[in-house]
Homo-oligomer: A and B are copies of this chain.
Amino acid sequence: MSEKTDLPPTDRTRLRRLRERGDFSLQTIYAILDAMPLCHIAYLGERGPVCVPTLQWREGNHVYWHGSSASRAIRAAADHDVCLTVSLLDGFVLARSAFHHSVNFRSAMIFGRPTLVDDPERKLARLKAFIDGLYPGRWDTLRPIDGREAKATAVLGMPIDEASAKVRTGPPVDDEEDYTLPIWAGVVPVEMRLMNPEPDPRNLPGLDAPEHATSLKIG
């Protein structure tokens, strides 16, 4: 996939304002999805829009998420329009006027109609990719998934073909005449840090944290 590949903007993804912050390259969209499993999904519930947090993962040009087969958020999303958004807060931007305060961030929005991954083998392959995407090699070390668990788990996926990213970086941008004011301006960066693994108190003696629990990266 060339880094020049752009998705065509649609009336849902085109930025009306601050267009310089928009980015339709799959490279940028993929990088944001890959940096943060937490996403929020907007779907239309019985009584209006619902915004539900869940974890997403990407395989090629598709994004997936999972949930209980009985979940409202899964049933209401399958075969219906949704918007999946991943956002990373990278910093607070303090300007010389209230108006130009901002945040540094990366966000990606994907519109589409997700479908259930019905085929049992394909569903297991997706779940393995999810676990191994976060924790390389972990799937094969686990007590194998059983039929009841697989049945109770629904996986939704959709192609990344109507999507856009929005990114802000750098210092505040103030009105030119305000740069002469003696007001401190700058950025307070935000970082997500993964801390040392905390072993389950019920681990068998002698088990060390595997590398996939200490090498996890997000942000």
For A85, the chain B residues whose CB sits under 8 A away are 40, 51-53
Contact A103:B55 (CB < 8 A) given known A96-B143, A188-B213 = yes
Closest B residue by C-beta to A77: B49
Contact string against B for A residues 84-108, beta-carbon threshold 8 Å, 1 for contact and 0 otherwise = 1101010010101111010101010
Smallest beta-carbon distance A22→chain B, Å: 14
Q: Is A43 an interface residue (CB 8 A)?
A: yes
Q: Flag if B194 contacts A189 (CB, 8 Å).
A: yes
Asked if B48 contacts A44 (CB within 8 A), the reply is yes
**Could you tell me the distance in whole angstroms from the C-beta of A194 to the nearest C-beta in chain B?**
6
Asked if A70 CB lies within 8 Å of chain B CBs, one says: yes
Q: Which residues of B contact A193 (CB under 8 A)?
A: 190-193
Q: Cβ of B98 and Cβ of A145 under 8 Å apart?
A: yes
Check: A171 CB closer than 8 A to any chain B CB. yes
Residues of B within 8 A of A189 (CB): 194-196, 198
- The smallest C-beta distance from A7 to any residue of chain B, in angstroms, reads 16
Instruction: Assess whether A25 is interfacial by the CB under 8 Å rule.
Output: no
In A30-60, the 8 Å CB interface with B consists of 38, 40-53, 55
A182-208 CB mask vs B (1 if < 8 Å, else 0) is 111111111111111111111110011
Q: Are B47 and A44 in contact (CB under 8 A)?
A: no
Q: In the docked arrangement, what's the CA distance between A214 and B186, Å? A: 11
- Complex contact A198–B207 (CB within 8 A): no
> Which 3 residue pairs across A and B have the least CB separation, nearest first?
A48-B81, A42-B42, A42-B51
